[in-house]
Amino acid sequence: MRPTWWPGRWPGVLGWDVSRYGRPASCPREAPRGPVVAITDGYASSGGDLLAQALKSLGVATVVGTRTWGGVIGCDVRYLLVDGTLVAQPKYAGWFADAGWGVANHGAEPDVEVTIAPHDWAAGRDPQLDAAVSLATEAQEQHPPAVPPAVRTDPPGPEPPPTLGQRTGEGAGAAAGPLPFACRRPHGHTGSTGRCRWRTERSAGNGGSR
């Protein structure tokens, strides 16, 4: 059995792209963050054959189950005959650096062979899934999944400027915020709202604003 995680073969997460407001993204984004276990069986064909073999060849995952179907020879419609039938011929084949042409007409062999017997089906059991979960749990204990780094917090900056109420002696409870207009009158005119008391009173008495 080949180990689930190959640090020297498949790099996995090389680092993290950390933005100011978004969530950290792994680099490469498609890289698995930890051990991967795949399940396959004889119903996997064509692309299923290729996927199971690719996971093994790249060392991305441990493949659990039974041998795949083995149909990786692609056919193309070559001739349409006058009686409405057609002629197809094999045209495409898949070759792997480690398996050669062996996937065609044979299938991809699992790393861990686990079958589902008829009595398992009758009892509602899935030995393949149970084996995959067990392998994944064990692999995660040995190689924990990659996590983004802790975001650095900047040191606290200077104190913010005092509010209008603090500048005029109204105390820390005065409402913060800029004046709605520029008032340069020398009297103590600001109330708890930070507005010009003189202007507010004149506006109320005259029915308008100045």
pLDDT digits (tens, 9 = 90+) for 128-165: 999 999 999 999 999 899 999 887 666 656 666 666 66
When pLDDT is cut at 50, 70 and 90, the band that residue 120 belongs to is very high
> Same structural domain for residues 70 and 107?
yes
Token digits of residue 92: 């495409």
**CB-based contacts of 46, cutoff 8 Å, min separation 6:** 69, 71, 72
> Same structural domain for residues 167 and 106?
no
Residue 1, domain member (yes or no): no
> Same structural domain for residues 84 and 175?
no
Residue 153, domain member (yes or no): no
Tally of domains in the chain: 2
Supply the CATH number for residue 96's domain.
Answer: 3.90.226.10
Residue 119, domain member (yes or no): yes
> Same structural domain for residues 190 and 132?
no
Is residue 121's pLDDT more than 50? yes
Mean pLDDT of 73-99: 91
> Same structural domain for residues 33 and 135?
yes
> Same structural domain for residues 135 and 170?
no
Mean pLDDT of 121-132: 97
User: Bridge partners of 79?
Assistant: 87
pLDDT of residue 95: 92
Residue 126, domain member (yes or no): yes
Mean pLDDT of 8-25: 80
Decide the pairing of beta strands 74-80 and 86-92.
antiparallel
CA distance readout (Å), 109 to 26, 50, 100, 131, 194: 31, 11, 13, 16, 78
> Same structural domain for residues 90 and 167?
no
Contact 39, 51 (CB under 8 A): no
> Same structural domain for residues 30 and 129?
yes
Q: Which of 14, 102, 113, 99 is nearest to 58 (CA)?
A: 99
Hey, how many other C-beta atoms are within 10 angstroms of the C-beta on 1?
10
> Same structural domain for residues 138 and 182?
no
Eight-class DSSP state of 190: B
When pLDDT is cut at 50, 70 and 90, the band that residue 1 belongs to is very low
Tell me the residue range of the domain where 99 lies: 15-142
Is residue 65's pLDDT more than 90? yes
Domain end call among 142, 171, 199: 142
User: Bridge partners of 207?
Assistant: none
Q: How far apart are CA 35 and CA 146, in angstroms?
A: 10
Please identify which residue in the block is written with the tokens 């179907």. 69
> Same structural domain for residues 30 and 111?
yes
Is residue 174's pLDDT more than 50? no
When pLDDT is cut at 50, 70 and 90, the band that residue 76 belongs to is confident
> Same structural domain for residues 128 and 53?
yes
pLDDT of residue 180: 47
Residue 48, domain member (yes or no): yes
Backbone Cα Rg of the chain: 36
| pTM > 0.85: yes or no | no
Q: What 3-state DSSP class applies to 163?
A: coil
pLDDT of residue 22: 84
Q: Which amino acid is at 202?
A: R
Contact 174, 155 (CB under 8 A): no
pLDDT of residue 181: 47
Domain end call among 142, 171, 189: 142
Residue 3, domain member (yes or no): no
> Same structural domain for residues 57 and 108?
yes
Is residue 7's pLDDT more than 70? no
Contact 110, 52 (CB under 8 A): yes
